[in-house]
């Protein structure tokens, strides 16, 4: 077989800057890299010397897509460091925000970044002419997630007043009712989305790997939980440094991360593989109707897992609204710090588990910070899948292989600008 080279400079329809480089000679892969060329931003150093109450606002700016997720991991780490235990209502409202962000992010990925591949177009724009009903539905659903966050926290990109100890502004009951109504009204669009994605056939690719996600009693964990792996152990978030290790590789401004196996996957597919029994009924039913049985070992099914999670978050959000509305007479009060120490927090953001870790001095200023980002955790796994795919597609036209690789990278929904902020070098 003759050799070929693939060089995709700045892969499109992903968040951030990444290159795909493949070099095959005489049927052997000589070089295969997912290069992360995003400019490093050094968030952990930027946090040094800042007061604890700035951390959530600063770290939200790591990522415009999962700003609520970063805010959650940040306040969980801060509350651990400050000796704050939030009340139950605060947790319910946080979970509602997470549902909103997850719906928004997954819909953006599925309709705007992934769907064009299946319609054989370069973006969602031509679809506005050929499939206007699909585009209009996509915009309505994306707006749904944004609106939930806007009503509760001012905006979705960099939420306001979501702080350690509680919310700077607690929503009025009529606002929660409005959120509930917006959710209810979206049901037909979600049903149509299920019908659409039923018709899209994911490419085949099978490779065994490790899955890591949070696990919490009685729920499909998003807000927080213990670290669980498909290869065993469940341990608290504070143990994250014992569970995973980072290493610098020269072609990636985001460090690679490993757990027990050589690489592992996080994100919708990993969560579903670990927590599928806790899915809410509609989500569970659709998963079954699609004929899929976890564990989903095909990485392209991360797209499918996102679809299932949209339904789950939709059902969960309505439940959160009802629980909040049932607590009549509740008066929200921010909880104050009881100590300044070290704390770690873990939360599931759209692309997988996210860790924040802060150490505070006696004045409540950050002396050391660490953030471990989902996309960084996925990088080694994406490259391993790329190897398998290139082998599986041997003999096909390089153009076709390139398209397959781009779709594979896209299926992971990488958030590259997010992934380039790491401290704490650990060579393994």
Q: How far apart are CA 316 and CA 313, in angstroms?
A: 5
Q: Does 142 bind other proteins (CB under 8 A)?
A: yes
**Contact with other proteins (CB under 8 A) among 21, 29, 58, 290:** 58
Among 20, 32, 63, 73, binds other proteins (CB under 8 A): 63
DSSP state of 110: I
- 216 interacts with other proteins by CB under 8 A: no
- The answer to whether residue 263 forms part of the interface with other proteins (CB under 8 A) is no
Which residue in 48, 226, 319, 323 binds other proteins (CB under 8 A)?
48
If DSSP codes are grouped into helix, strand and coil, which group holds residue 5?
strand
Residue 78: CB minimum distance to other proteins, A: 15
Radius of gyration of the chain (CA): 21
CB-based burial, 181-193: b 16+ in 10 Å, e otherwise? ebbeebeeebeeb
Q: Is 155 in the site for other proteins (CB under 8 A)?
A: yes
**Residue 305 to residues 15, 140, 182, 186, 411, Cα–Cα distance (Å):** 19, 21, 23, 19, 10
Residue 298 structure tokens: 């095909």
Q: Does 40 bind other proteins (CB under 8 A)?
A: yes
Nearest to 428 by CA among 250, 246, 254: 246
Interface with other proteins in residues 64-103 (CB under 8 A): 64-65, 67
Q: Which stretch binds other proteins (CB under 8 A): 111-119, 194-202, 281-289, 373-381?
A: 111-119
Q: For residue 202, what are the CA distances in angstroms to 103, 139, 205, 371?
A: 21, 23, 9, 33
C-beta separation of 376 from 422 below 8 A: yes
**If we measure between CA atoms, which residue out of 93, 222, 108 comes closest to residue 157?**
108
Q: Which residue has the tokens 């946090």?
A: 47
In the complex, least distance from residue 327 CB atom to other proteins, rounded to whole angstroms = 20
Interface residue with other proteins, options 52, 112, 314, 355 (CB under 8 A): 112
The verdict on whether omega for the bond into residue 295 sits within 30 degrees of 0, i.e. cis, is yes
**Which tokens go with 418?**
């997010």
DSSP state of 120: T
Under the binding rule (CB under 8 A), the answer on residue 399 touching other proteins is no
Q: Measured from the CB atom, is 25 or 155 closer to other proteins?
A: 155
Which has the closest alpha carbon to 215: 230, 202, 198, 200? 230
Using the minimum distance from each CB to other proteins, give the nearer residue, 150 or 323. 150
Min dist CB 325 to other proteins, Å, is 20
Q: Is residue 153 at the binding interface for other proteins, with CB under 8 A as the rule?
A: yes
CB of 296 to other proteins, least distance (A): 26
* Identity of the residue, 128 or 194, whose beta carbon is nearer to other proteins in the bound complex: 128
- Per CB under 8 A, which of residues 322..351 are in contact with other proteins? none
Nearer to other proteins, 116 or 345 (CB): 116
> Of the listed pieces 123-131, 210-218, 371-379, 381-389, which binds other proteins according to CB under 8 A?
123-131
| Of the residues 1, 85, 168, 394, which one makes contact with other proteins according to CB under 8 A | 168
- Could you say which of 161, 203, 285, 398 contacts other proteins (CB under 8 A)? 161
Near other proteins by CB under 8 A, which window of 34-42, 184-192, 232-240, 376-384? Answer: 34-42
Asked if residue 415 lies in contact with residue 15, where contact means CB atoms within 8 angstroms, the answer is yes
| End-to-end C-alpha distance for the chain, whole angstroms | 36
Paired tokens of 198: 């039923």
Nearer to other proteins, 39 or 394 (CB): 39
Q: Residue 363 has what DSSP assignment?
A: T
Residue 101 near residue 68 (C-beta atoms within 8 A): yes
Pick the stretch among 79-87, 157-165, 265-273, 289-297 that binds other proteins (CB under 8 A).
157-165
44 binding other proteins? (CB under 8 A)? yes
Residue 194 or 334: which CB sits closer to other proteins?
Answer: 334
CA distance linking residue 45 with residue 152, whole number of Å: 31
- CA distances in angstroms from 273 to 114, 211, 212, 229, 268, listed in the order given: 21, 7, 9, 10, 9
Question: CB under 8 A: which stretch of 19-27, 146-154, 191-199, 292-300 binds other proteins?
Answer: 146-154
Q: Give yes or no for residue 160 binding other proteins (CB under 8 A).
A: yes
User: Binding-site residue total for other proteins (CB under 8 A)?
Assistant: 66
Residue closest to 41 by CA, chosen among 324, 418, 428: 418
Please give the residue ranges that form the binding site for other proteins (CB under 8 A): 10, 12-17, 39-42, 44-46, 48-51, 54, 57-58, 61-65, 67, 108, 112-113, 116, 122-125, 128, 135-136, 139-140, 142-143, 146, 153-158, 160-161, 163, 167-169, 248-251, 253, 417-418, 422-423, 425, 427
């Amino acid at each position: 077989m003759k050799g070929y080279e693939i060089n995709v400079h700045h892969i499109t329809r992903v968040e951030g800057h990444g290159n795909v480089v493949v070099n095959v000679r005489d049927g052997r892969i000589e070089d295969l890299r997912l290069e992360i060329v995003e400019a490093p931003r050094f968030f952990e150093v930027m946090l040094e010397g800042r007061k604890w109450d700035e951390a959530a606002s600063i770290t939200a700016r790591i990522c415009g897509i999962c700003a609520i997720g970063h805010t959650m991991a940040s306040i969980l780490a801060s509350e651990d460091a400050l000796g704050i235990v939030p009340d139950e209502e605060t947790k319910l409202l946080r979970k509602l925000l997470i549902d909103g962000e997850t719906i928004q992010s997954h819909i953006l990925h599925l309709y705007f970044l992934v769907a064009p591949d299946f319609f054989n177009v370069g973006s969602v724009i031509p679809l506005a002419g050929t499939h206007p009903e699909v585009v209009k539905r996509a915009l309505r659903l994306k707006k749904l997630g944004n609106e939930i966050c806007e009503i509760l926290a001012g905006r979705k990109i960099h939420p306001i007043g979501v702080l350690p100890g509680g919310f700077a502004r607690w929503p009025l009951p009529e606002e929660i009712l409005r959120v509930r109504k917006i959710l209810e009204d979206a049901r037909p669009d979600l049903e149509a989305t299920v019908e659409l994605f039923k018709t899209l056939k994911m490419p085949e690719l099978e490779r065994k790997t490790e899955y890591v996600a949070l696990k919490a009693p009685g729920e499909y964990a998003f807000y927080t939980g213990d670290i669980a792996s498909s290869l065993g152990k469940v341990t608290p978030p504070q143990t994250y440094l014992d569970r995973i290790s980072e290493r610098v590789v020269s072609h990636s401004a985001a460090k690679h991360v490993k757990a027990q196996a050589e690489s592992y996957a996080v994100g919708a597919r990993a969560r579903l593989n670990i927590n599928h029994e806790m899915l809410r009924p509609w989500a569970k039913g659709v998963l079954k109707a699609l004929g899929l049985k976890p564990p989903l070992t095909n990485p392209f099914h991360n797209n499918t897992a996102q679809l299932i999670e949209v339904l789950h978050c939709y059902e969960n959000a309505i439940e959160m609204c009802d629980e909040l509305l049932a607590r009549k007479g509740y008066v929200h009060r921010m909880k104050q710090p009881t100590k300044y120490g070290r704390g770690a927090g873990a939360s599931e953001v759209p692309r997988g588990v996210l860790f924040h870790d802060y150490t505070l001095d006696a004045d409540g200023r950050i002396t050391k910070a660490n953030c471990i980002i989902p996309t960084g955790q996925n990088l080694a796994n994406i490259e391993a899948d790329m190897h398998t795919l290139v082998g599986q597609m041997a003999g096909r036209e390089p153009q076709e292989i390139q398209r397959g690789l781009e779709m594979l990278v896209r299926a992971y929904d990488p958030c590259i600008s997010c992934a380039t902020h790491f401290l704490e070098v650990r060579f393994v």
